[in-house]
Structure 1
Amino acid sequence: MIKTLTGPQFSSTFCLRPEQFAWFLGAGASAAAGIPTGYSMILDFKKRLFCQLSRISLREVDANDPLWQQRIDLFFSTRSELPAPDDPTEYARAFEAIYPTAADRRTCIEQAVTRGTPSFAHRVLAALLTTRRIPCVFTTNFDQLVETATTLTDQLVPANERANMTTAAIDNAERAERCLRESSWPFLAKLHGDFQSVELKNTTEELREQDVRMRRVLGAACARFGLVVVGYSGRDESVMAALTEALAQPNAFPGGIYWVTRSASSVLPAVSELLEKAAQSGVTTAIVESPTFDELAGDIIDGISLPPVLLQHVQESRPTQILAELPLPAREQRSFPVLQCSAIPILSMPKQARRIEINTVITTVRARELVRDAKARAVVASVGREIAAFGSDAELLRAFAPVGGKIAGTIDLHPDTDSWALGLLYDALTWAISRGRPLLPRLRRKGHAIIVASGLPTDSPERVAARKEKLSHLRQAYSTPLSGTVEGYGYPFSEGVQIRLDCVANRWWCAFEPFTYVELPRTEAGDGASHDEGDDNVASFVRRANPIMDWQRERWAGRRNKEWARIIAGWAKLLPGSHDGVVKAISLREDSGPGQDAEFRLSPVTAWSRPSHDHDYFQRSGR
């Protein structure tokens, strides 16, 4: 298993002995300097070739759009011009297909590389070269960013301290051989040539035969130094073969191989194979995860000393820090302002439910159907071949008789880890809050709600009076009727709340959000819609156009903080029910026999949030 390091971890190792490492730069190392990466050039080549073959205008195709990328890949998957995406030869094949002649390829490269400006990372690398901390750099890039950056840093130090780096391309490889033979450091070896070189290595045939002399220089350097690879994917077979051959030398890569990449999971198989072979040969190997070359350079510059003039030169181009340290508030917290939350704490809730063993596996939906068919009062959830339930044992046995149900003690509930337990308690809480009060539960897959019951025309005067008494605080909070019909439509409406069972700050809460429920005709709610999906009233339930959406919006538009505070307080007082806040989902009677009820105890005091510190904003009105 290849070890993975972070940028700072690598920096600690590198800064102890920087002179023992050669560097290898790929196209990714020049990305921050404005030079197209190999991947972006592949996209551009494939786009141009696609437009040529399909006769589509270049202006109509965005190569960075994933949809266009899929379309282009699908197009070439049925043709022979290009290999499959991510094939190591993809870049070379695409380049040769769009620019068949060496002269055209040289012109293309020249136009791409002359737009770049040395980045922060190039300045760091140049400073290390000028101070002779790095002996040699190998690169497959055609740009002159390293040379330009090193020339600038050389001019900042006295003449006798300048590095005067030697640059060798494939058409003057003897320079690199001489530097290596005479230990004349530092030098830069351009394995694929310079954009001004007569010879460039881009196509499959060109890359297959790496220049023998340059290959020998790379191998010899690997016998003397460790290697830091940055921005290189490992696509070139010739380069990877040269690195693999270097492993056969005695004491190869004495400083180790450190392969820098954005993510360890993104390295190509050829890279993994090289690192594994190196590790088997006793070479220290590691993958260094660093998002960009600039970030890696920042880690290095923070751990190494440079002459002040070079440090200033480097820091001038350092990217602006996104995260900055800020002093923590020192003043004491204020008691006000505070925010009232529409949530009441659940002081206690069921820890166990009745366990029912059955002879087959059924879903929770099927379990509810069995309960409904048996006209039993129960709340159930399926757990494979078991049912967790609240209700009378007799009614539960009657409901699950078709599947061989039998009572098997109790089952522990862990809603924080078991979704079925959370769903069971959520259902039970909704039923418990509405049980025995003028409230109706609306259980939906997208979230449950409780609405005010408008009553029936046949209700007795005593029942009507009792309902009004229980809803008196809520009616005062709304200052409008709690139920009625939508003017112009005739649809019945009722005020209600969406209910959620949430665990926040290590405790359970009954969160609620007021809304206005409107009973839409089934034809307008959607023909054939199931009971679980036919509710267009709550925002989280919306699936179709709601004909009374504007009416609902207008009904709530005029309610400001004071009105909202009254409404939240009204529901907070109504939901817990009795003075002790105990609500039960089943309310088992004494003559019901044994069973398991779902008992919750709710607090009528809502959650409040106050500032943890003082702030000038809170002083704006002189309070």
Structure 2
Amino acid sequence: MIRDFKAQIFCRENKLSKREIDTGDQVWIDRIDSFFRRTSILPPENDPTEYAAAFEAVYPQPRHRRQYIDDAISKGTPCFGQKVLGSLVAGGKADCIFTTNFDPLIEEAVQSANTLLPVARQCRPTVAAIDSADRAMRCLNESGWPLVAKLHGDYQEIAIKNTGSELEKQDERMRHVLVEVSKRFGMVFVGYSGRDASVMEALSSVLTERSPFPNGLYWVASSASRLLPAVTDFLLQVQRAGVDVAIVECATFDELAADVIRTVDLPAELFDHVMNGRPNPRLVPVDVPTAEARAFPVLRYSALLVEALPSVARRMTLAQSTTSPAARELLKAQKCRAIVAANGREIAAFGNDQEILRALSSLGPKLAGTIALDGSKDGWALGLLYDALVTAFSRRRPLIPRLRHAGHSLIISTPREGEDEHRRKWRAGILRELRDVYQSPLSGSVPVLGFPYSEGVFLKLEQIDGRWWCGFDPYTYVELPRSEINSGVGQLDRGLLGDPLVAPAERYSGDPAGDWRRERWAQRYNKQWAAIIHAWARLLTNTSDGETKALDLEDGAGIDAVFRISEVTGWSRPSHHHRYFDRKK
């Protein structure tokens, strides 16, 4: 419930509708938790008073809290664990249960289990809450077990305990029953947080008796590391008192119940009742295909295996913090060829050390050795490697890198005016295979519209099954003039168009060349696609020594980004036969 309370407070304070958030989405959970860490509306996370404070903040009036609980309980049904617990009570295996819950699910589970037994063998529990604590006293005095005692009250009662002030003091009769039972039996705590100071104080008082918890004490939690300090201190006191104490780690109540039911001998009727109520398993056995893998069909991926990538970059410390875009602007102003990623007062860089120091002189940079790069763990490192890979692919090739926040790409550069014959032949030779498979010019102007276009590829660097791959997706880039970009764009969006990290202009006002672009690719089927993928793979991996370098620095000048890319694209064969492969068309 505390998650729901926090969500309601978050929406109230930020003037949001609860329909606008999803409390099951980890993104929203993180936002809500971050909000409460920045404010003092509630006690700190995992504070013993957090739940009570949140409940009272959302529902200040007792009648509203009762209504909330009543509504929540009306939707509940006994879970597998509660069915097991109810069967243990009905089967005479559990004498006394204390709960801080208001719902009647335990009683309902016991009642369902009892209906399966002959009347003479039924164990009907006495249910006692705050308004009926005398029942608990009678059970204690007369040993009239089983007993279900509700320490915080029953949802049907007027007196229920939720808030900090209500939980400060435990009902004296209920406290007496809890203490006396703790002197007669061992006790298992399941899913109890230990937030209630009054309950913990009553349990601690048992330790002054001659034989507290004679059959031991077991505290079941999802993780021992998540126990509250009050619980940890209590368990240490229990241990010092000579009581057998243990912390049992179990993910859920249902899992604990499943373990218990394996070792407890229940009547056949109750055992079948419990097992029929088991939730469907998430993991089920399946028959693994045993037929030999087929040689065909074969799926070719537009992806290249990255056999090796840079493991370190130059580390520089700064006198003042900066951002990656700001650092790149300084490098660009000084015409310094380098690739950088900033993190506060540190920079990771590929490039000539002295040139970078001069370009960033206004930030007070100093060389500080190297920094390890792990793209699988650090986002800034993955971004640096991504930038370096795109830059490396464009070096000594007629390709222009387009580095964008939404994704990097390479496009074929168009011939410049006055380009000499030698460079023209060099360009034609490198692009010959690509031009042959496209069977059309690789750059030019869109018919009718006249917008310049170039063929290119979107690039993506990602790790799959522990191996790094560079995916490339061929596409046709169309350069839209500024007038087309501005049409249909609001004043706010116009302010963003100067930002190099914003999405392509067609996302704002449509793509005027979209129909032409779709028609250009519509008639390219598997055979043409395979040839295009092959040609791009050849172009991107064609090096003299098998290494793809971003900057080709002289030895000792700095740290270069050096990649080793496989010339062979990824392939996949079917693991088993499927009738789809036998189709005629």
What's the TM-score, normalizing by structure 1? 0.69
Q: Name the aligned partner's letter for residue 573 of structure 1.
A: R
Structure 1 Cα separation of the partners of residues 20 and 557 of structure 2: 69
Structure 1 Cα separation of the partners of residues 354 and 60 of structure 2: 80
Report Cα offsets for 1:498-529 as digits up to 9, x if no partner.
23344445544433222222223356375675
Is the Cα–Cα contact under 8 Å of residues 381 and 387 in structure 1 kept in the other structure?
yes
Find the counterpart in structure 1 of residue 247 from structure 2: 286
Find the counterpart in structure 2 of residue 442 from structure 1: 402
The alpha carbon displacement at 1:494 in A equals 0.6
The alpha carbon displacement at 1:219 in A equals 0.6
Is the Cα–Cα contact under 8 Å of residues 132 and 185 in structure 1 kept in the other structure?
no
**Structure 1 runs not aligned, ≥5 long:** 1-36, 51-59, 79-83
Q: Check 1:327–1:581 CA distance in 2 against 1; reply closer, same or farther (3 A cut).
A: same
Report Cα offsets for 1:468-522 as digits up to 9, x if no partner.
3322221232233211223444321111112334444554443322222222335
Query: Could you tell me which of 532, 536, 560 is aligned with 2:500?
Result: 532
Find the counterpart in structure 2 of residue 472 from structure 1: 432
Query: Could you tell me which of 515, 523, 526 is aligned with 1:561?
Result: 526
1:607 aligns with 2:570: yes
Is the Cα–Cα contact under 8 Å of residues 434 and 532 in structure 2 kept in the other structure?
yes
Find the counterpart in structure 2 of residue 138 from structure 1: 98
1:88 aligns with 2:52: yes
Q: How many residues align?
A: 551
Superposition map of 1:135-534 within 5 A: 135-141=95-101, 144-158=104-118, 161-168=121-128, 173=133, 175-181=135-141, 183-191=143-151, 200-202=159-161, 210-230=170-190, 238-260=198-220, 274-275=234-235, 277-278=237-238, 281=241, 283=243, 284=245, 286=247, 288-291=249-252, 293-347=253-307, 368=328, 372-375=332-335, 388-390=349-351, 414=373, 416=375, 425-460=385-420, 463-522=423-482, 524=485, 526=494, 529-530=497-498, 532-533=500-501
Superposition map of 1:119-138 within 5 A: 119-138=79-98
1:550 aligns with 2:510: no
Find the counterpart in structure 1 of residue 578 from structure 2: 616
Query: Could you tell me which of 530, 535, 540 is aligned with 1:575?
Result: 540
The alpha carbon displacement at 1:342 in A equals 1.4
The alpha carbon displacement at 1:451 in A equals 1.0
Larger-gyration structure (1/2): 1
Find the counterpart in structure 2 of residue 22 from structure 1: none
Q: Name the aligned partner's letter for residue 220 of structure 1.
A: E
The alpha carbon displacement at 1:213 in A equals 3.1
Is the Cα–Cα contact under 8 Å of residues 522 and 534 in structure 1 kept in the other structure?
no
Q: State, as a whole percentage, how many aligned pairs show the same letter.
A: 41
Structure 2 Cα separation of the partners of residues 112 and 370 of structure 1: 59
Structure 2 Cα separation of the partners of residues 111 and 380 of structure 1: 56
Secondary structure at 2:409 match in 1: strand
Structure 1 Cα separation of the partners of residues 231 and 99 of structure 2: 17
Higher relative contact order (CA 8 A, sep 6+): 1
Structure 2 Cα separation of the partners of residues 109 and 350 of structure 1: 58
The alpha carbon displacement at 1:99 in A equals 3.0
Report Cα offsets for 1:522-548 as digits up to 9, x if no partner.
5637567557336617xxxx8744543
Report Cα offsets for 1:200-229 as digits up to 9, x if no partner.
545878766644333222111111223233
Structure 1 Cα separation of the partners of residues 206 and 341 of structure 2: 64
Q: Name the aligned partner's letter for residue 566 of structure 1.
A: A
Q: Check 1:479–1:248 CA distance in 2 against 1; reply closer, same or farther (3 A cut).
A: farther
Is the Cα–Cα contact under 8 Å of residues 580 and 601 in structure 1 kept in the other structure?
no
The alpha carbon displacement at 1:181 in A equals 4.4
Secondary structure at 1:607 match in 2: strand
**Structure 2 runs not aligned, ≥5 long:** 43-47, 487-493
Q: Name the aligned partner's letter for residue 290 of structure 1.
A: A
The alpha carbon displacement at 1:163 in A equals 3.0
Is the Cα–Cα contact under 8 Å of residues 536 and 546 in structure 1 kept in the other structure?
no
Structure 2 Cα separation of the partners of residues 357 and 39 of structure 1: 43
Structure 2 Cα separation of the partners of residues 564 and 335 of structure 1: 20
Structure 2 Cα separation of the partners of residues 349 and 117 of structure 1: 55
Secondary structure at 1:459 match in 2: coil
The alpha carbon displacement at 1:310 in A equals 1.5
What's the TM-score, normalizing by structure 2? 0.73
Structure 2 Cα separation of the partners of residues 160 and 377 of structure 1: 90
Q: Check 1:304–1:488 CA distance in 2 against 1; reply closer, same or farther (3 A cut).
A: farther
Structure 1 Cα separation of the partners of residues 548 and 72 of structure 2: 73
- Of 118-127 and 162-171, deviating more is 162-171
Structure 1 Cα separation of the partners of residues 7 and 339 of structure 2: 60
Q: Name the aligned partner's letter for residue 134 of structure 1.
A: A
Q: Name the aligned partner's letter for residue 532 of structure 1.
A: P
Structure 2 Cα separation of the partners of residues 167 and 328 of structure 1: 52
Is the Cα–Cα contact under 8 Å of residues 390 and 401 in structure 2 kept in the other structure?
yes
1:99 aligns with 2:52: no
The alpha carbon displacement at 1:316 in A equals 2.0
Structure 1 Cα separation of the partners of residues 56 and 105 of structure 2: 23
